[in-house]
């Protein structure tokens, strides 16, 4: 019986690596993501009960293909290799000629036939649906391996060497599009790795508080508190760790939702007894953003201004060595990693200047939004805080298209508030992941009071999601959309047209900029 209670995920640049970690944690086992080329001795020193080799965009026969330390296969630790990892195992034990370009690349749902599934595929039917995303495939079994499953286009869709506890799957068990994927991971964790389990968000919260205490020591920290779920949970964890040595700085940058400042001060200063300093920086931010239309430039300007404000507050308030941020994993992956493309920069990831003097404390960096909410519930935050819809760090700057002006911000803020009121009145707020209004830079002709208008167009955006990595447009009843549109046009002067965005993510993103 193994005593190790964690899994290490060797990351080869997969967009799904954190999703693998999340699925493992959901099944009660703690997991960490590490570089794919982490030395075997370092892996041994961490004492994992299992190793997962992630997918990735590489090809095993490419000149600069990423490979793990070959000694990882000799550690006596069970290995589950997924997609590119599956091909790495085949190439290591059988040679690179065991992997070749697929004559018909598989992207999307495929039907997988199981033949002698062994421990990994135990309890599954003879055929399952699975999500494929690969241009190469394993076409021959390495010596000592048996085939567990196949598809019409992938003769070795799953393989195993049970004696050495090596398993590989070409498909992605971690995604929801593989309905039996959770069962496959559960089999690997408990039947093959024989892990004890017991990991929970309660344990994560406890571990985070201890790690924050260790990192901060006797020092003091500032927290960039926006009132959103992420920064609220981060602030509460740090407050539990270091108490009054935490000061929360709420920056009113003029890009907030309606009533945001009043809500934050009431919740955190009055109800939770935290040290909260409110900074009126509206003129500063809006001056810096004047005439800026490019969304990436907006984000980076806002990021620099945020850090400048925090450093100034640190100098004015006392000696602060640490800056707390509510960074979560979707922020990180969308801002680009060492092996993934930049989708959009986040002010708390891609926009940080090199000269920043404080050390970052980011207790939520490895969590998805739904996990953050679970942690928040564990540490006693109210539903009013936990179930607020996400709001981007750059605020309305990325919901007002084109150059930002005070008038345009006012229009976007009023339209957004009306939309929120209507979905709350309809009882839909908890069902929708995120809903907001985007003020376009487009004008259109309309008719009001028998007269011609030439006003602005607003786009309503509402999505359902589990983790913000993918999202579908929300099927809001037509009568709710109708009431929202009529109210916006009637109550917000200069807006004469309302549209509803029905684009999913991908190919779109949730925010427009």
Provide DSSP, 332-397. Answer: HHHT--TTS--S---TTTTT--TT--SEEE-TTTT--HHHHHHHHHHTT--HHHHTSPP--TTGGG
Characterize the bridge pairing of strands 50-53 and 6-11: parallel
Alpha-carbon Rg of the chain, whole angstroms?
Answer: 25
Asked if residue 467 has pLDDT above 90, the reply is no
CA 406 to chain CA centroid, Å, is 31
105 pLDDT band, cuts 50/70/90, is: low
Characterize the bridge pairing of strands 359-361 and 322-324: parallel
Asked if residue 298 has pLDDT above 60, the reply is yes
CA dist 105 and 135 (Å) reads: 5
What residues have CB less than 8 Å from 180, skipping those under 6 apart?
Answer: 124, 128, 129, 130, 173
Mean pLDDT of 8-13: 93
Poorest-pLDDT segment among 40-44, 65-69, 114-118, 438-442 = 114-118
Give the DSSP H or E segment for 31: strand 30-35
1 pLDDT band, cuts 50/70/90, is: very low
For 443-479, b where at least 16 C-beta lie within 10 A, e where not — what string?
Answer: eeeeeeeeeebebbbbbbbbbebebbbbbebbebeee
pLDDT given for residue 109 in this prediction: 82
Strand partners, 80: 52, 167
Asked if residue 346 has pLDDT above 70, the reply is no
451 pLDDT band, cuts 50/70/90, is: confident
Mean pLDDT of 144-169: 93
pLDDT given for residue 22 in this prediction: 85
Whether 193 and 7 have beta carbons less than 8 Å apart is answered as yes
Reported pTM: 0.70
pLDDT given for residue 430 in this prediction: 92
Asked if residue 351 has pLDDT above 50, the reply is no
**Which of 72, 28, 68 is closest to 48 using CA atoms?**
72
- Locate CATH 3.30.300.10 in the chain: 405-500
CA dist 456 and 440 (Å) reads: 7
| Of residues 16 and 111, more confidently modeled | 111
- Locate CATH 3.40.50.880 in the chain: 6-192
| Of residues 309 and 284, more confidently modeled | 284
396 pLDDT band, cuts 50/70/90, is: very high
pLDDT given for residue 4 in this prediction: 62
Strand partners, 360: 323
Q: Where are the beta strands (DSSP E) in 230-353?
A: 246-252, 275-280, 322-324
pLDDT given for residue 19 in this prediction: 85
63 pLDDT band, cuts 50/70/90, is: confident
Poorest-pLDDT segment among 71-75, 223-227, 231-235 = 223-227
Helix (H, G, I), strand (E, B) or coil at 128: strand
Mean pLDDT of 56-82: 92
Q: Which DSSP string do the residues of 166-226 spell out, in sequence order?
A: EEEESS-TTSTTSTTHHHHHHIIIIIIS-------HHHHHHHHHHHHHHHHTT--EEEE--
pLDDT given for residue 350 in this prediction: 45
Q: Which residues are catalytic?
A: 83, 172, 174
Is the domain 6-192 a CATH 3.40.190.10 member?
A: no
Asked if residue 249 has pLDDT above 70, the reply is yes
Geometric angle at alpha carbon 384, from 380 and 388, rounded to 5°: 115
Angle between helices 229-242 and 369-378 (to 10 degrees): 40
- Locate CATH 3.40.50.620 in the chain: 201-386
Mean pLDDT of 27-53: 93
Q: Which DSSP string do the residues of 443-509 spell out, in sequence order?
A: EEEEEETTEEEEEEEEEEEEEE-SSSSSBEE----HHHHHHHHHHHHHHSTTEEEEEE----BTTS-
Q: Which CATH architecture has domain 405-500?
A: 2-Layer Sandwich (3.30)
CA dist 394 and 399 (Å) reads: 9
pLDDT given for residue 315 in this prediction: 83
Fold of the domain built from segment(s) 201-386: Rossmann fold (3.40.50)
Helix (H, G, I), strand (E, B) or coil at 6: strand
Question: What is the pLDDT of the chain when averaged over all its residues?
Answer: 88
């Amino acid at each position: 019986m193994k005593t190790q209670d964690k899994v290490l995920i060797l990351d080869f640049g997969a967009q799904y690596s954190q999703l693998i970690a999340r699925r493992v944690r959901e099944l009660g086992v703690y997991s960490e993501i590490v570089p794919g080329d982490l030395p075997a001795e370092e892996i041994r020193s961490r004492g994992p009960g299992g190793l997962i080799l992630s997918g990735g965009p590489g090809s095993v026969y490419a000149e600069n293909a990423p490979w793990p330390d070959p000694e990882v296969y000799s550690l006596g630790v069970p290995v589950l290799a997924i997609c590119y990892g599956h091909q790495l195992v085949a190439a290591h034990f059988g040679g690179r000629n065991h992997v070749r370009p697929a004559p018909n690349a598989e992207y999307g749902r495929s039907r997988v036939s199981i033949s002698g599934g062994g421990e990994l595929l135990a309890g599954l039917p003879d055929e399952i649906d699975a999500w494929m995303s690969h241009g190469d495939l394993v076409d021959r079994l390495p010596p000592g391996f048996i085939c567990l499953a196949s598809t019409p286009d992938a003769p070795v869709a799953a393989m195993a060497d049970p004696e050495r506890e090596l398993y590989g799957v070409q498909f992605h068990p971690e995604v929801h599009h593989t309905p039996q994927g959770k069962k496959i991971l559960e089999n690997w964790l408990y039947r093959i790795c024989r892990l004890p389990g017991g990991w929970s968000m309660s344990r994560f919260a406890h571990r985070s508080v201890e790690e924050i205490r260790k990192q901060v020591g006797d020092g003091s920290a500032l927290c960039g508190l926006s009132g959103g779920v992420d920064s609220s949970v981060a602030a509460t964890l740090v407050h539990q760790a270091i108490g009054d040595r935490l000061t929360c700085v709420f920056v009113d940058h003029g890009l907030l939702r309606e009533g945001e400042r009043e809500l934050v001060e009431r919740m955190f200063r009055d109800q939770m007894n935290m040290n909260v300093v409110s900074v009126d920086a509206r003129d500063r931010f809006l001056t810096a953003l004047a005439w800026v239309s490019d969304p990436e430039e907006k984000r980076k300007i806002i990021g620099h201004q945020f850090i400048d404000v925090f450093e100034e507050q640190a100098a004015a308030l006392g000696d602060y060595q640490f800056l707390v941020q509510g960074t979560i994993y979707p922020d990180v992956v969308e801002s680009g990693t060492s092996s993934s493309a930049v989708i959009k920069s986040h002010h708390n990831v891609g926009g940080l200047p090199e000269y920043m003097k404080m050390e970052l404390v980011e207790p939520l960096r490895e969590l998805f939004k739904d996990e953050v909410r679970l942690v928040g519930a564990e540490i006693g935050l109210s539903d009013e805080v936990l179930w607020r819809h996400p709001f981007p760090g750059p605020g309305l700057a990325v919901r007002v298209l084109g150059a930002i002006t005070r008038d345009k911000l006012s229009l976007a803020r009023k339209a957004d508030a009306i939309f929120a009121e209507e979905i709350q009145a309809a009882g839909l707020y908890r069902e929708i992941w995120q809903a907001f209004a985007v003020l376009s830079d487009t004008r259109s002709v309309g008719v009001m009071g028998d007269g011609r208008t030439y006003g602005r167009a607003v786009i309503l955006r509402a999505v359902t999601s589990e983790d913000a990595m993918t999202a579908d447009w929300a099927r809001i009843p037509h009568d709710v959309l109708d009431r929202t549109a009529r109210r916006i046009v009637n109550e917000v002067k200069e807006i004469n047209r309302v549209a509803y965005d029905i684009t999913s993510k991908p190919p779109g993103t949730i925010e427009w900029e």
